[in-house]
Amino acid sequence: MQSKGLGDDIRKITAATGLDQIAKKIAQLLDEDCGCDDRADWLNEKTKNWPIYKKRNNNEKTNQ
């Protein structure tokens, strides 16, 4: 899956390093939502017009 913004890139890095599982475990212990998905969506929205993501997102739309 290609990144739509910085949130997707950070999500990939945290998944590869296992940090996402640590965040989820801590959130579970605190009986709270870690907010990872909301943060990733927010970052994607804020960075979707950065040149690298804008180019990817435009290419994805034309290939459909």
- What's the mean pLDDT when you consider all of the chain? 90
pLDDT range class, residue 13, cuts 50, 70, 90: very high
pLDDT range class, residue 64, cuts 50, 70, 90: low
Over residues 26-38, the mean pLDDT reads 95
pTM of the model: 0.78
Residues 46 and 53: their CA atoms lie apart, in Å, by 11
Would you call 42 helix, strand, or coil by DSSP? Answer: helix
Q: Give yes or no for residue 35 having a pLDDT over 70.
A: yes
Q: At what angle do helices 36-47 and 6-17 cross, to 10 degrees?
A: 140
